[in-house]
Structure 1
Amino acid sequence: MLDAHRAFETPEGIRLRLEVAGPLPRALAWLVDLAIRAVFYLLAAFLLDQLGKFGHGLLLLLIFFSEWLYPTVFEATRGATPGKQAMNLRVTMDDGTSLTWGASFARNLLRAVDFLPFMYLLGLLISLTNNDFKRIGDVIARSIVVYAPQADTSPTYHNPADTTTARSLPLALTAEEQRLIMEFSDQCDFLSAARQREIANLLQPLLQQQDDAAITTLKQYAAWIKGAQA
């Protein structure tokens, strides 16, 4: 089965799961952006027509620069054009980080190639050959179009038996190891229950415990470390 989700882990250990956008929502976003630009060009044409040939020249320059700057600026500064925002999409780098100016310029410059021979036919064919639905511009820029991440509403772990009663460490740990235990305790309220258990179970050989019991013990170790530092 086609897996349209991509997982990224931040330096803080928080795992993000993003859903890759397919051709249809991207095409709808392009139509919305096209409609926005069309209205803008019609208004500009009406105003500049009063200037005769000079105004016509300005209109052509306006259209030329707008076609290139409109998607580039919006994607580099906001992560999405108004059309993509309307479809709940955003453009990121392959690793889930914000799109850079260089990548935004590259992916939009290559729209001219993706458009060939007409209506982005080449870009569509290329996007259907890879799991991330990347057109040529995305491949070169190392970018990806995903659905904008929603706020995580998954329940966090709150064990009624949990206590912050300090428990001394069973053996000497380095300063870095102690810092990691404290960071885990501080981040628990921002991690899902499954993620907390996954991390705590990595220390099963040391704790001789797993799942909820391991989480509680790590929090007690953290309380002892903080008390010792104080």
Structure 2
Amino acid sequence: MYLINTEYKVETPEGVDLTAELAGPIPRILAFIIDISIRFGVIYVFYLIFQSLNWTVGPVFIAYFLLEWFYPTLFEVLYRGQTPGKRIVGLVVVNDDLTPVSWNSSIIRNFLRTVDFLPVLYVGGLITMIINPHYKRLGDLSAGTIVVYKNRTKDSEQLPKIKAIAPNLTLELEDQVAIVNFTQRHSEFSSDRAQEIANILEPIHGLQNKNAVNHLHGLGKWYLGGKD
């Protein structure tokens, strides 16, 4: 039996703790219900259109297949870990180290929903979430992912007041972690020291001094799921 503790903490190679709040079964079920309602709504609209035009409904089944298998993955990867249902509930899928979910991880966790469905109505996945200390279903265990509340981190209120900036190139994991750490610890650095650190990463952003600091803070906010 595990004690109820929704805090999830990861220590980076630099020795900095990143903390997030785990999402339990109930909010995840709610997000799932919203997503499946959206999918069935889209399919129903397609069906009505094809019926009104007296067309064969074969393409409707194809659309159902594509939505069932690729809807979650496309949204999770392209929209920073959030399907519409997760966005409404305030959840986000991330890797175990709290970095953005990747294509491989999202594909694995979503394609294994068939296993979580067993024996019926996702009972297997629900049982796994209940007995796992991090509320992981089988797909999460295989993919190395977790579901957390967006922006519910210990340092979220201390982040710089700057708009999030999406990266224009794919950064290595170490660079992402370094930028997140720099953003979360911004209050620990003097202006000169912050600029000195930001200038070291000039090959990544091509900027200097205050502009470099602001750009890195914007990237850090983006990796942490912030918008402004």
What's the TM-score bracket when you normalise by the shorter of the two chains? Answer: 0.5 to 0.7
2:46 aligns with: 44
CA distance in 2, matches of 1:155, 1:106: 32
Secondary structure of the corresponding residue to residue 149 of structure 1: coil
| Counterpart for residue 104 of structure 1 | 106
Q: Is the 8 A contact 2:158 2:184 kept in 1?
A: no
Instruction: Give the match for residue 71 of structure 2.
Output: 70
Shift in alpha-carbon separation, 1:8–1:70, aligned structure 2, 3 A: same
Contact 1:14 1:191 in 2 (8 A): no
Q: Which amino acid aligns with 1:60?
A: F
Q: Deviations over 1:154-191 (max 9, x none)?
A: 499xxxxxxxxxxxxxxxxxxxxxxxxxxxxxx6x953
**1:25 aligned partner, one-letter code:** P
Given residue 185 of structure 2, which amino acid in structure 1 is its aligned partner? Answer: L
Aligned residue identity for 1:93 = N
Residues 1:25 and 2:54 are matched in the alignment: no
1:103–1:142 Cα contact (<8 Å) kept: yes
TM-score with structure 2 setting the length: 0.65
1:191 aligns with 2:195: no
Greater RCO, CA 8 A, separation 6+: 2
Counterparts of 2:15 and 2:4 in 1: how far apart (Å)? 26
Deviation, 1:7, is 1.8
Aligned match for 1:152, one of 150, 156, 162:
156
Letter in 2 for 1:58: P
Are positions 1:60 and 2:61 aligned together?
A: yes
Contiguous gaps of at least 5 residues in structure 1: 157-186, 197-214, 226-230
CA distance in 1, matches of 2:14, 2:48: 53
Please report how far the alpha carbon of residue 61 of structure 1 lies from its aligned counterpart in structure 2 after TM superposition. 0.7
Q: Deviations over 1:47-103 (max 9, x none)?
A: 122454x53111011101111111010011111100001000000000000100011
- Write the mapping of 1:199-210 to structure 2, written as runs, cut at 5 A: none
RMSD: 3.1
Q: 1:84 to 1:129 in 2, by over 3 A?
A: same
Gap change, CA 1:142 and 1:49, over 3 Å in 2: same
Moved over 4 A (4+): 9-14
Structure showing greater radius of gyration is: 1
Give me the TM-score of the superposition, normalised by structure 1: 0.65
* 131, 141, 144: which one aligns with 1:142: 144
